Structure 1
Amino acid sequence: MRRRPAGPGWPPAPPPPAWDGLSWQLSDVAQLPRMRAELRRWRIVCGLSDFRDRLLLVLDELASNALRHGGGQVQAAVRRTGDAFLVAVTDGDTSTPPTPAVDRDPAEGGLGLYLIVELSTAHGWYVDGDAKTVWAVLPPS
């Protein structure tokens, strides 16, 4: 795994162009199992079980963070970016950037953003109007 510090926050940046994929409208963490099941069946990643698991983990972490902390409706998406995949999650909290936990007991959680940094080749966030999008790019290997 690549060692890059998550820093006090994620960099503000737009994601790379992406197309073809899946998306979900979410309003409750109870919807996450359905989202994960649909991604598992997605034909593009079916044959790549290890990659599919990493993709599932990043999608689940970003979506659950948005549902717990972001406010409002959440939109989650997985799309292709050439030979990689973009995971992007949008919520209504435009005033709070994604901020990794600092000096917290790991038993209390808060390590998801660090994990996403380790698994991704690029990550960031941006605000557009009344929505914030947090994103990460995962290579297939």
Structure 2
Amino acid sequence: MPGWPSAPPPPAGDGLRWELSDVAELPGMREELRRSEVVDGLADLRDRLVLVLDEMASNALRHGGGHVEAAVRRTGDALLVAVSDGAAATPPTPAVDRDPSEGGLGLYLIAELSSAHGWYVDGDGKTVWAVLPTR
């Protein structure tokens, strides 16, 4: 997996949205998602969804620069996780030839847990997204 595909996400409806400026906000975001009606009845998906959102948001905060927005929205029989940051020129790039103990494997994990993933540039920012089926 040399890089993530550059592609727009599928259309999505309502859901949850967060504006983030610091990794210290991530525990509150995770808790809000766990308690949300978006994941009601999806106990088997909840932990994977929280993990994907947390990995994507923490990557954006650590490497993306600028304002970070995260969202989880419904799209048919799936949930779309999308995180935007201010680093339009920096595509999501999975770690290569790195000891797993040094981190950097989150993008591989997200790709494994999702049925589709990608990223796109919009103005001065980029959005990284992943789709997790609800069935």
- TM bracket, shorter-chain basis: over 0.9
Show the counterpart of 1:38: 32
1:9-20 aligned within 5 A = 9-20=3-14
Structure 1 CA distance, aligned partners of 2:91 and 2:46?
A: 27
Structure 2 CA distance, aligned partners of 1:133 and 1:113?
A: 14
User: How does the TM-score come out when normalised to structure 1?
Assistant: 0.94
Tell me how far 1:44 sits from its aligned partner.
2.7
Structure 1 CA distance, aligned partners of 2:94 and 2:75?
A: 25
1:44-99 CA distances to partner (integer Å, 9 max, x unpaired)?
31322220100000000000000000001100000000110000000000111000
Count of aligned positions: 135
2:38 alignment partner, SS class: coil
Show the counterpart of 1:21: 15
Determine whether 1:78 maps to 2:72.
yes
Task: Give the letter aligned to residue 80 of structure 2.
Answer: L
1:1-141 aligned within 5 A = 7-141=1-135
Task: Give the letter aligned to residue 53 of structure 1.
Answer: D
Structure 2 CA distance, aligned partners of 1:45 and 1:101?
A: 30
Moved over 6 A (4+): none
Structure 2 CA distance, aligned partners of 1:44 and 1:91?
A: 23
User: How does the TM-score come out when normalised to structure 2?
Assistant: 0.98
